Amino acid sequence: MSTVVLISGANRGLGKGLLERYLRLANHTIIAANRNPDHPTSKDLFNLPKAEGTELIVVKLDARVWQDAFDAIKSLGSQGIDHIDIVVANAGVAYVWPTVAEVKLEDIIGHFEPNTYGVVALYQAVRPLLQKSKREPIYSIMGTTAGSLNSQPKLQNSCYGPSKAAVAWYSIRINEEDSWLHSFSLVPGFVHTDMGDIGAAALGIDKATQDQIMIGLDESCDGMMEVLTETTKEKHGGKLVMYNGETIDW
């Protein structure tokens, strides 16, 4: 039986990096979910190398729209998908970095819709297919120390940070409420992606400091793949896990 993996936000950045690595594994079906399957970055996914017995499916899923997750999963039935083994809830945004005194309601909502609500909607939509997995299924949420309560970075981040703090709560609760499902948050690190580089510049982090605190996409994705391969509910369930396998405080 093919191992079925769904990755949201899979046409760029971390999502694409993980997608590329899963496609190199034999006998896998990888579902690349993103908001515009007709975009060139989405169509280009079909040109990525694939291992023997591995196939790629692209589905429309706009994490800002609650119903999209349910429509996306419903569409998979006609493509022969009767179970899912691993979900990486990666889709998210970070586009403004105000102080709490300056933050606007529309920007809080604009971050919570994809980063929090979208992750909950995806969980509800994929849950029946995860229950049909023949292994311990995984619902992994892309985490970050930006949402930490105990070790919060000293940077203004009053939209993205709170949205990730909220989804951390859901990560813990999902793991508690579903005894059969392994849910945890996976921290990629501060990575040189388009979103990471824009954020670093917007926060005024100079290049010398970026070189100290940021890592490359390959280092992050290679590490996350190792974690996803070795993780279990007993070991990591309901926890915040770094790309290098280290468990850190929420």
CA-angle at 27, arms to 24 and 32, nearest 5°: 65
Domain ranges for the chain: 3-248
Residue among 127, 5, 16, 136 at smallest CA distance from 69:
127
> Is 134 one of the annotated active-site residues of the chain?
no
CATH of the domain spanning 3-248 = 3.40.50.720
The Cα 152–Cα 6 span in angstroms is: 30
Residue with tokens 């034999």: 26
Choice among 139, 160, 170, 243 that is catalytic? 160
Q: Tokens in use for 37?
A: 């399957």
Note down pLDDT in tens along the chain; length 250 residues: 799 999 999 999 999 999 999 999 999 999 999 999 999 999 999 999 999 999 999 999 999 999 999 999 999 999 999 999 999 999 999 999 999 999 999 999 999 999 999 999 999 999 999 999 999 999 999 999 889 888 788 888 999 999 999 999 999 999 999 999 999 999 998 777 766 666 677 667 777 777 666 788 899 999 999 999 999 999 999 999 999 999 999 9
Choice among 16, 50, 164, 233 that is catalytic? 164
Q: Tokens in use for 94?
A: 């970070």
Please state whether the predicted TM-score (pTM) of the whole model is above 0.85.
yes
Distance of CA 207 to the CA centre of its chain: 26
The Cα 174–Cα 151 span in angstroms is: 23
> Is 164 one of the annotated active-site residues of the chain?
yes
The Cα 1–Cα 239 span in angstroms is: 29
Strands 86-89 and 55-60: unpaired
